[in-house]
Structure 1
Amino acid sequence: MNGLFSDHECSPVHRVHFDPTNSDQLSSAIVCAISTVADRSPRDIGPLWEAIDPEALERLLDHAAARGAAVSVGLEFSVDEFDIVVTDCGEILVYGDSSDHGSDDDLEFTFDG
């Protein structure tokens, strides 16, 4: 991940790849990743929009894709008990219990470029 997020002492519990040039399905991919780790139906996952604006996240990744290799972008946020990291290189990383890393209101944005 280009060293964008180094505050996690453990490895992600789940890693999913998506096409960063086509972010239209990003919200669904995030919810599916969380539901896989939580072993719950996607309908039982807290609404993504309560943690982050999905359209803003898509626009951010679209902008990073348009900039190419000149910029590295990542965003970390919490949904239910999980920390989610989304990167412009097409990764969704799910980390365990977010209570170990701060409150559910924490949002971290990293820009490298």
Structure 2
Amino acid sequence: MSPSLLQASAASFVLLSIGHTVNGRQWTSDPRFRAIAGTKPWASGTVGWYQGSAFFFLTGLLHYQWSRDPTALQDPINKAIAGIVNVLLWSSSAWYVKHGIKDNALAVGLSAVLQAWGVVQAIL
């Protein structure tokens, strides 16, 4: 069993984390968003966005750990984590498509494919 797909999946999550952070800097500088500065939606939106970036990075570390020991994905908890992450990726990609944000949809969708492929290969 080759861990390279899981390593590639780990790298995709790190790239998603970086892209997510950069994208957050763009939308938080939007005048409409700045107009609500200091409000609960502004605070929640900002911190939540960067928590999402940290989630992507953390998930990248988890996939890297799995690449070092793919047998860890035989454990039901790790399978559940992998499944939840994949559902989250596909749901996010679909949401982006629905709202016409094609570049994000493509990036997240490609990461979903890579993640699923790597995890399934490790499980089989």
TM interval, short-chain normalised: 0.3 to 0.5
User: Higher RCO, 1 or 2 (CA under 8 Å, sep at least 6)?
Assistant: 2
Please, what TM-score do these two structures have when normalized by structure 1?
A: 0.33
Larger radius of gyration: 2
